[in-house]
Amino acid sequence: MSEQQLEDYDDYRTTDVLVVGSGIAGLAAALGAAREGCDVTVATKATRPEGASSWWAQGGIAVSRDDPEQFKDDILTASADTADPDAVDVLVDGANDAVSDVLVDTLGVDFDTNGGAETADGDDWDFGREAAHDEPRILHVDASTGKAIHVPFLNYLDDHDDVTVRDDTAALELVSHEGRVHGALLEHEDEVTPTFAGATVLATGGIGDLYSRSTNPDGSTGDGVAMAALAGADVADMEYVQFHPTVYPGSDAEGDGPFLVSEAVRGEGARLLNAAGERFMPEYHDDAELAPRDVVARAVQTEIDATGEVVLDVSPLDFEGEFPGLAAKCDERGVDWESGIPVGPAEHFLCGGVDVDTRGRTSLDRLYAVGECSRTGVHGANRLASTSLLEGLVWGLRAGEDASDYDPEVVEAPELLDRDPALPDNFAREKFHRLRRTMDEYVGLRRSPDDLGRAQAVLRRLKGEVDAYVRTRTARSLYELRHASVTALLVTRAAAENGESVGTHNLVEEPAKTQAD
Q: How far is the CB of 383 from ligand SIN (least distance, A)?
A: 7
* Omega before residue 421 within 30° of 0, cis: no
Q: Of 213, 293, 436, 476, which is the active-site residue?
A: 293
Q: How far is the CB of 462 from ligand SIN (least distance, A)?
A: 29
Q: How far, in Å, CA of 209 to CA of 480, rounded?
A: 10
Q: Is the dihedral of CA 183, 184, 187, 193 positive or negative?
A: positive
The CA-atom distances, in angstroms, between 489 and each of 206, 348, 361, 462 are: 15, 18, 23, 10
Closest CB to ligand SIN among residues 337, 427: 337
Closest CB to ligand SIN among residues 197, 385: 385
Q: How far, in Å, CA of 151 to CA of 453, rounded?
A: 43
The CA-atom distances, in angstroms, between 71 and each of 93, 291, 385, 431 are: 10, 15, 12, 43
Closest CB to ligand SIN among residues 239, 263: 263
Q: Which residue is nearest to ligand SIN (CB)?
A: 59
Q: What are phi and psi of 228, to 5 degrees?
A: -65, -45
Q: How far is the CB of 345 from ligand SIN (least distance, A)?
A: 12
H-run or E-run covering 283: helix 281-284
How far from chain centre, in Å, is Cα 91? 17
Q: How far is the CB of 219 from ligand SIN (least distance, A)?
A: 19
Rule CB under 6 A: which residues touch ligand SIN? 58-59, 262-264, 385-386, 388
Q: How far is the CB of 340 from ligand SIN (least distance, A)?
A: 18
What DSSP assignment string belongs to 171-213? EEEEEEETTEEEEEEEEETTEEEEEEEEEEEE-----GGGSSS
Q: How far, in Å, CA of 404 to CA of 199, rounded?
A: 7
Closest CB to ligand SIN among residues 102, 385: 385
Q: How far, in Å, CA of 168 to CA of 45, rounded?
A: 4
Closest CB to ligand SIN among residues 72, 482: 72
> How many alpha carbons fall within 13 Å on the CB side of residue 414?
25
Closest CB to ligand SIN among residues 223, 391: 391
Closest CB to ligand SIN among residues 94, 146: 146
The CA-atom distances, in angstroms, between 153 and each of 30, 102, 107, 125 are: 10, 9, 6, 21
| Residue 460 annotated among the catalytic residues of the structure | no
Q: How far is the CB of 263 from ligand SIN (least distance, A)?
A: 3
Instruction: Report which of 471, 404, 423 is spatially closest to residue 185, judged by C-alpha positions.
Output: 471
Q: How far is the CB of 138 from ligand SIN (least distance, A)?
A: 9
Catalytic residues: 293
